Amino acid sequence: MQRVRFTGMNLRDRVALNIQDLRRARGLSQEELAHRANVSRGHMGKVENAKFAASLDLLERIARALNVDPEVLFAKR
Protein backbone atom coordinates (compact mmCIF):
# COMPACT_ATOMS: atom_id res chain seq x y z
CA MET A 1 0.00 0.00 0.00
CA GLN A 2 1.38 3.38 -0.97
CA ARG A 3 1.37 6.14 1.62
CA VAL A 4 -0.13 9.50 0.68
CA ARG A 5 1.77 12.59 1.80
CA PHE A 6 0.11 15.91 2.45
CA THR A 7 1.99 19.05 1.60
CA GLY A 8 1.25 22.49 2.94
CA MET A 9 -1.49 22.93 5.49
CA ASN A 10 -2.79 20.03 7.52
CA LEU A 11 -6.20 18.53 6.84
CA ARG A 12 -7.90 20.03 9.91
CA ASP A 13 -6.83 23.54 8.87
CA ARG A 14 -7.94 22.95 5.29
CA VAL A 15 -11.39 21.74 6.34
CA ALA A 16 -11.77 24.62 8.80
CA LEU A 17 -10.94 27.24 6.17
CA ASN A 18 -13.18 25.59 3.57
CA ILE A 19 -16.10 25.64 6.00
CA GLN A 20 -15.46 29.31 6.80
CA ASP A 21 -15.24 30.25 3.13
CA LEU A 22 -18.38 28.33 2.18
CA ARG A 23 -20.33 29.78 5.12
CA ARG A 24 -19.33 33.34 4.28
CA ALA A 25 -20.06 32.83 0.57
CA ARG A 26 -23.60 31.86 1.53
CA GLY A 27 -24.00 34.83 3.84
CA LEU A 28 -24.49 32.67 6.92
CA SER A 29 -23.40 33.55 10.42
CA GLN A 30 -21.59 30.95 12.49
CA GLU A 31 -24.69 30.78 14.65
CA GLU A 32 -26.97 30.05 11.67
CA LEU A 33 -24.66 27.36 10.30
CA ALA A 34 -24.39 25.82 13.76
CA HIS A 35 -28.19 25.77 14.05
CA ARG A 36 -28.56 24.13 10.62
CA ALA A 37 -25.92 21.52 11.51
CA ASN A 38 -27.46 20.91 14.95
CA VAL A 39 -24.38 21.90 16.96
CA SER A 40 -23.65 24.76 19.35
CA ARG A 41 -22.18 28.00 18.02
CA GLY A 42 -19.17 27.55 20.28
CA HIS A 43 -18.52 24.09 18.90
CA MET A 44 -18.84 25.41 15.33
CA GLY A 45 -16.34 28.16 16.17
CA LYS A 46 -13.84 25.56 17.36
CA VAL A 47 -14.30 23.56 14.14
CA GLU A 48 -13.85 26.70 12.00
CA ASN A 49 -10.73 27.69 13.93
CA ALA A 50 -9.24 24.19 13.70
CA LYS A 51 -9.29 23.85 17.50
CA PHE A 52 -11.46 20.74 17.34
CA ALA A 53 -11.29 17.72 15.04
CA ALA A 54 -14.85 17.28 13.83
CA SER A 55 -16.27 13.79 13.47
CA LEU A 56 -17.30 12.51 10.06
CA ASP A 57 -20.92 12.69 11.20
CA LEU A 58 -20.55 16.37 12.07
CA LEU A 59 -18.76 17.12 8.79
CA GLU A 60 -21.61 15.43 6.94
CA ARG A 61 -24.16 17.61 8.78
CA ILE A 62 -22.12 20.75 8.06
CA ALA A 63 -21.87 19.83 4.36
CA ARG A 64 -25.63 19.26 4.25
CA ALA A 65 -26.22 22.61 5.96
CA LEU A 66 -23.98 24.28 3.36
CA ASN A 67 -25.66 22.34 0.54
CA VAL A 68 -22.40 20.81 -0.74
CA ASP A 69 -21.01 17.31 -1.11
CA PRO A 70 -18.87 16.44 1.92
CA GLU A 71 -15.81 16.02 -0.30
CA VAL A 72 -15.89 19.79 -0.98
CA LEU A 73 -14.88 20.36 2.63
CA PHE A 74 -11.60 18.54 1.93
CA ALA A 75 -10.74 20.38 -1.30
CA LYS A 76 -7.15 21.59 -1.64
CA ARG A 77 -6.66 25.32 -1.19
Inter-axis angle of helices 11-25 and 41-48, to 10 degrees? 120
Domains held by the chain: number: 1
pLDDT tens for 35-59 read 999 999 999 999 999 999 999 999 9
pLDDT at residue number 77:
76
Q: How many CB atoms lie within 10 A of CB 25?
A: 9
pLDDT of residue 10 exceeding 60: yes
CATH number at residue 40: 1.10.260.40
Q: How confident is the model at residue 8 (pLDDT cuts 50, 70, 90)?
A: confident
Residue 31 forms part of a structural domain: yes
Average pLDDT over residues 18-22: 97
Instruction: Measure the CA–CA gap between 17 and 22, rounded to whole angstroms.
Output: 9
Tell me if 61 sits within 8 A of 37, measured CB to CB: yes
**pLDDT at residue 6, rounded to an integer:** 54
Domain membership of residue 37 (yes or no) is yes
CA dihedral 66, 68, 74, 77 (to 10 degrees): -80
